[in-house]
Amino acid sequence: MKVYYDDKYIEINKNNKYFIYSPLNDKYIEINEKSKNLIDYIYNSNGNISINEIRNYFISKYNLDVCNDEINKFINKLIEVKILFASNNDMQIEKLNHIGYLKKLKQGNLKVAYIHATLRCNFNCSYCYNRTLINKDYKEFSTSEWIKILKKLKKQGVVKFIFTGGEPLIRKDLKELILSVKDKNTYIEVLTNGSLLKDQFYDLIDIVDKFTVSLDSFDININSKNRSDVNYYDIISTLKLFSEYNKDKILVRSVVNKNNIDDVEHFSKQLYEEYGIESTHGWFIPNNYSEIPLVPKYRKLENPSSIRPKNVNFISILNKLACGAATSIIALDPAGNIYPCQNLMTKELKISNILNENWYEELINSDITKLLSNLSVDDIEKCKDCSYRHICGGGCRAIAYKVYGSLTDHISYFCDFLQADAKDAIEKTKISCG
Ligand SMILES: C[S@@+](CC[C@H](N)C(=O)[O-])C[C@H]1O[C@@H](n2cnc3c(N)ncnc32)[C@H](O)[C@@H]1O
Ligand code: SF4
Ligand code: SF4
């Protein structure tokens, strides 16, 4: 008998239980040690099964005579749950169906808008992905013009507005802008450097669902290597305000690069212990190929307040693939130009302008949208046979574009990191028989 299987399978041994994960269709099963040995036998024999050999193997290894029926039943079960396939054709069909299913996950309606009402900034962070855009002499829309735009987005189905920039608090009308779309069905997030928040704290705290405050260290020298020391102590006193008033509304986000990698875990710990504030680590994204050396060597970072779900299952991991750029997510610059995401605001990737009467049709029909929404990790040559591809997703497409010049490139400099992260995700995954 010959059976077929994904030869990039992963075997996981967790808490003395065995799991087999099949990357081509993201199926996984929990098995006992004997079943694991039987599967190993099948894999080691390249799917060529001799029932007699299996019986002899069980007699010699376990002193156990397993009858043909039992062996056949087990193999049929593996075929039924699609870990094994009766023919290569069945396996290829399953693979294609699964790619189609994953692509469908990416389809969806517009839900999230990154609003860059301003690209002015009072900082000049060394790593900023917007640094070629900030503090240029852009004409900005007035408050009433932005309100019209925000309402237009809301009418089209946007339920999450992320105010970013530049520094969004530089505009003194942020409260008005937020209030123009705020209701129980909208989620408002503000990405801020925190330096101007102290004065507007009480105006904004109750109307914003989440503030993501960027800060890289409590050590002003380390922080200033990455960011700026402008109003540094105001940022620290704002943390105190959050911790006293509502610490659930703040998430501190640190960008990890060579300057702060040795401090960032200590920083998270201190934030949590002294202020009760949660933090997250975002790995530094090089703005071009020459910045790759600024990325530290991968290592697991401990975060006592990590917001990452501790127990995730494979299906929730798969959502990582559906980044949503240009489909469920867009970014708007101060002139109303529409881009696939906040990290891809370049001239060549401009999709439309919100002032155009047909902006939504232009968005959904644009070649960039079609490319991004149809792109799957299985289309990336160097990823398509990787065991971790559906957990890793091939990495952020903005990184591929910035570093290698194409939305579809393999992110080689980050591949080891992504693979280690995928392994880490498997370790943290709550696996149940499925
Ligand atoms: C561009 S800023 C805009 C909002 C605000 N000015 C701030 O600093 O939070 C948005 C987020 O992107 C992060 N960021 C900027 N450049 C980055 C890069 N090259 N890699 C990773 N994150 C970056 C910032 O630290 C910040 O958390
Ligand atoms: S504060 Fe934000 S927008 Fe300003 S330079 Fe730094 S990362 Fe960029
Ligand atoms: S980036 Fe690397 S780890 Fe991720 S899917 Fe591609 S080859 Fe695999």
Tens digits of residue pLDDT in 189-210: 999 999 999 999 999 999 999 9
- For residue 411, the ligand 3 atom closest to its alpha carbon is 1
Sole residue written with tokens 């080891």: 416
Residue 29 dihedral angles phi and psi, to the nearest 5°: -135, 150
Strand order across the 27-31 sheet = 10-14, 17-22, 27-31
- Computed on alpha carbons and rounded to an integer, the radius of gyration of the chain in Å comes to 25
Q: How far is the CA of 121 from the centre of ligand 2 (A)?
A: 6
- pLDDT higher than threshold 50 for residue 70: yes
Q: 323 versus 339: which is more confidently predicted?
A: 339
How many percent of the chain have pLDDT more than 70?
94
Distance 348 CA to ligand 1 centre (A): 21
What integer pLDDT is reported at residue 60 of this predicted model? 87
Residue in this structure with the two tokens 């099949």, named with its chain if needed: 22
Does residue 223's CB lie within 6 angstroms of at least one atom of ligand 1? Answer: no
Question: Is residue 172 within 8 Å of 204, Cβ to Cβ?
Answer: no
* Gap between the Cα atoms of 366 and 326, Å rounded: 9
Q: How do residues 72-84 score in pLDDT, each as one tens digit?
A: 999 999 999 999 9
With a 6 Å cutoff on the Cβ, whether 412 touches ligand 2 is: no
For the cut 90, the answer to whether the pLDDT of residue 323 exceeds it is: no
- What pLDDT does residue 241 have? 98
Residue 420 φ then ψ, to 5°: -65, -40
Nearest CA owner, ligand 1 atom 9: 192
pLDDT at 298: 80
Whether ligand 3 lies within 6 angstroms of the CB of 395 is answered as: yes
Q: Provide, rounded to the nearest whole percent, the portion of the chain with pLDDT above 90.
A: 72
Q: Is 392 in the pocket of ligand 3 (CB under 6 A)?
A: yes
The answer, yes or no, to whether any atom of ligand 3 lies below 6 A from the CB of 396, is no
Under a CB-based contact definition with an 8 Å cutoff, are residues 199 and 176 in contact? no
Atom of ligand 2 nearest to the CA of 227: 6
Q: What is the distance between the alpha carbons of residues 374 and 397, in angstroms, rounded to a whole number?
A: 13
DSSP string over 244-298: HH-GGGEEEEEEE-TTTTTTHHHHHHHIIIII--EEEEEEPPPSSGGGGGGSPPP
Q: Whose CA is nearest to atom 3 of ligand 2?
A: 166
The three-state secondary structure class of 393 is coil
List, for residues 420-431, the tens digit of each pLDDT value.
Answer: 888 887 777 765
CB 342 within 8 A of CB 308: no
Mean pLDDT for the stretch of residues 231-246: 97
Distance 188 CA to ligand 3 centre (A): 33
Nearest CA to ligand 3 atom 3: 419
55, 71 Cβ separation under 8 angstroms: yes
Give residue 434's pLDDT: 40
Q: Residues 137-165: what's their mean pLDDT?
A: 96
Residue 413 and residue 92: Cα distance in Å, rounded? 31
pLDDT (tens digit per residue) in 255-312:
999 999 999 999 999 999 999 999 998 899 999 999 999 999 888 788 766 544 444 5
Contacts of 103 (CB under 8 A, 6+ apart): 373, 374, 376
* Lookup result for tokens 């599967």: 39
pLDDT in tens, 344-398: 999 999 999 999 999 999 999 999 999 998 888 999 999 999 999 988 889 999 9
Going by C-alpha positions, the residue among 147, 137, 139 that lies closest to residue 115 is: 147
Contact 110, 158 (CB under 8 A): yes
Q: Which of 321, 376, 396, 419 is the pocket-test mutation for ligand 3 (most atoms within 8 Å of CB)?
A: 419
pLDDT of residue 314: 55
Mutation test residue for ligand 2: of 119, 171, 193, 211, the one with most atoms within 8 Å of CB: 193
Ligand 3 within 6 A of 84 CB? no
Question: Residue 317 pLDDT > 80, yes or no?
Answer: no
Residue 9 clears pLDDT 70, i.e. is over it: yes
Question: Which numbered ligand comes closest to the C-alpha of 281?
Answer: 1
106, 322 contact by CB (below 8 A): yes
- Residue among 90, 118, 26 nearest 320 (CA): 26
Cβ–ligand 1 distance for 400 under 6 Å, the answer: no
C-alpha closest to that of 113 among 358, 342, 371: 342
Tell me if 168 CB under 6 Å of ligand 2. Answer: no
What does each C-alpha distance from 366 to 179, 350, 351, 352, 371 come to in angstroms?
31, 10, 7, 9, 9
Ligand 2 site, residue 125, Cβ cutoff 6 A: yes
Which of 110-124, 181-195, 329-343, 369-383 comes out lowest in average pLDDT?
369-383
Give, in order, the Cα–Cα distances in Å from 341 to each of 277, 326, 332, 393, 432.
Answer: 28, 7, 8, 17, 35
Q: How far is the CA of 306 from the centre of ligand 1 (A)?
A: 19
If you average pLDDT over every residue of the chain, what do you get?
91
The CA–CA distances, whole Å, from 91 to 78, 98, 318, 392, 406 equal 13, 11, 20, 22, 31
Q: At which residue do the structure tokens 């049929």 appear?
A: 76
Q: 39: which 2 tokens?
A: 């599967």
Residue 115 burial class via C-beta count within 10 angstroms: exposed 0-12, middle 13-18, buried 19 and up: buried
Task: Work out the end-to-end distance of the chain between its first and last CA atoms, rounded to an integer number of angstroms.
Answer: 26
- Residue of 124, 213, 345 to test ligand 2 pocket, by largest number of atoms within 8 Å of CB: 124
Is the distance from the beta carbon of residue 167 to the nearest atom of ligand 2 less than 6 Å? yes
DSSP 257: -
- pLDDT confidence bin for 223, thresholds 50/70/90: very high
Residue 113 CA from chain centroid, whole number: 16
Q: Are 27 and 6 in contact (CB under 8 A)?
A: no
More confident position, 301 or 123: 123
Residue nearest to atom 6 of ligand 3 (CA): 383
Q: What angle do CA 295, 301, 306 make, to 5 degrees?
A: 120
The dihedral built from the CA positions of residue 410, 307, 164 and 145, taken in this order, carries a sign that is positive
Q: Is the CB of 284 under 6 A from ligand 1?
A: yes
Ligand 1 within 6 A of CB of 118: no
Instruction: Count how many residues are written for the chain.
Output: 434
More confident residue, 57 or 163: 163
Of the listed ranges 142-151, 188-197, 396-405, the one predicted with least confidence: 396-405
Let me know: does 404 contact 289? Beta carbons within 8 Å: yes
Answering whether pTM is above 0.85, one says: yes
Q: CA torsion 146→151→152→154, rounded to 10°?
A: 130
pLDDT of residue 137: 84
Nearest atom in ligand 1 to the alpha carbon of residue 291 is 19
